Amino acid sequence: MNLGAETEQVEHKKSTSELKEGMQSIAAILNKHSAGELYFGVRDNGEVIGQQTGARTLRDVSQAITTSIEPRVYATVEKLQADNGKTYIKVTFSGNERPYSCRGTYRIRVADEDLAMSTAQLESLMLERLNRREPWDARASLRSISGVDEKTPKDYIERGNTNGRISFEYDGVEPVLERMGLLTADGRLTNAAAVLFCKSRVAALKMGVFANEKRIDILDIQQASGTLFDLLNQARFYVLSNIRRRVKITGEKMERDEIPELPMDAVREAIVNALAHQDYTAGEAIQVEIYPSSVEIYNAGWFIDGQVPEDHLSGKSRNSKSRNELIANTLFKSKDIEHFGTGMLRLQELCDEAGVKVEYLNCDNGTRVVFHRNDPFAGSTSSEEFASSSQAVRKRQRKRSLRLPSS
């Protein structure tokens, strides 16, 4: 009987004589994926060779997990029998309190190896744990209520009233923020409130148009800061102003219908996601980068709790867990986020309808959404013409050779 090769979430040990190494693998896998499986009595290639599986052996495995790994992990240890009659041990484990150490040492899973964790990786996971226990967006901000841009929460409540997700009327900044749960127990602004409603540099945006994928020749570069809603509108407008559009002439009155090469509802969804799920503790700006072959949106922080983008894009997962639950919940009430856990599926469906390839990439512990640009003339007819925005044309006329600051 063969269980298959080892993976990033599956480790095989020939016997419990490798118990110490097995504990290291559990901690390493938890630090990478938050869940996994460990087998004793199985070769690296997955062949079941059998192992002693008495009650004492199972107890030894369970006790080793309890005493070797911190924070404590509660795993399922079970005796199984292969088709050839040989018995082996399966350990199923999970945990969301990473980083996990094994006898004081921190390791992380890479392919089928357990490698020593770097200082930067350990610091990042320590900060992640702190944010789980006391989320950054729920902590007190250094900004005061007087720094809130009053028009922004007023407009926000009006949108919430219109879509039926907010039942109360606007009656001032402080009462509204209190009802929304955006003040701390002692009445201070939360970081969520500061990002959403204060014109500050906590939320920042970098935007650039590049002549090629080498990021050397830059046609335009802009930076912006402000409320989250300001940045959402600026980023969307920037993309729309710098991509190609097909102009379709329709009807007897020869009316012009401009069709952007990318589905802008999908682009907006990606921008909202970047702003909502950004790791604001990283001190990085959201980035919008426009290349001849793609439009890319970057935010600091990868998917949390072992989530993978492919499951969301396919609809397999609707896990709505967010790095910034307070920010995400606030955006949901104004319908800036349509539905919890389904935004990426909707993004994929919009791109499929438009014939646009989209993908999510994990780069430098950040998330990059890539919209691949199509041939602008593909599928055009005699009643259609190709248009670039005048703004983009002007930018190309004043091309500058600069290098965008790295993220």
Domains of the chain: 10-133 (3.30.950.30), 137-197 (no CATH), 204-397 (3.30.565.60)
> Rounded CA gap, 169 and 157, in Å?
7
| 276, burial (CB in 10 Å: exposed 0-12, middle 13-18, buried 19+) | buried
Q: Low-confidence residues of the chain, pLDDT below 70?
A: 253, 303-321, 339-342, 375-407
> Rounded CA gap, 345 and 278, in Å?
19
Which of 270, 218, 208, 266 is CA-nearest to residue 241? 208
> Rounded CA gap, 392 and 242, in Å?
5
Question: How confident is the prediction for the chain on average, in pLDDT?
Answer: 87
Q: For 47-90, what is each residue's pLDDT tens digit?
A: 999 998 999 999 999 999 999 999 999 899 999 999 989 999 99
CB of 207 closer than 8 Å to CB of 224: yes
Long-range pairs of 160-165 with CB within 8 A, sequence gap ≥ 24 = 160/333, 160/334, 160/335, 163/334, 163/335, 165/332, 165/333, 165/334, 165/335
Which two structure tokens, joined as six digits, stand for 129?
A: 């744990």
What's the pLDDT at 63? 96
What's the pLDDT at 96? 87
Residue 339 Cα to chain centre, angstroms = 16
> Rounded CA gap, 278 and 286, in Å?
8
What's the pLDDT at 395? 46
Residue 335 identity (one-letter amino acid): K
> Rounded CA gap, 137 and 182, in Å?
9
> Rounded CA gap, 82 and 88, in Å?
8
> Rounded CA gap, 249 and 255, in Å?
5
What is residue 3's three-state secondary structure? coil
What is residue 371's three-state secondary structure? strand
The structure tokens 């922080």 sit at 301
Which of 53, 95, 100 is CA-nearest to residue 77? 53
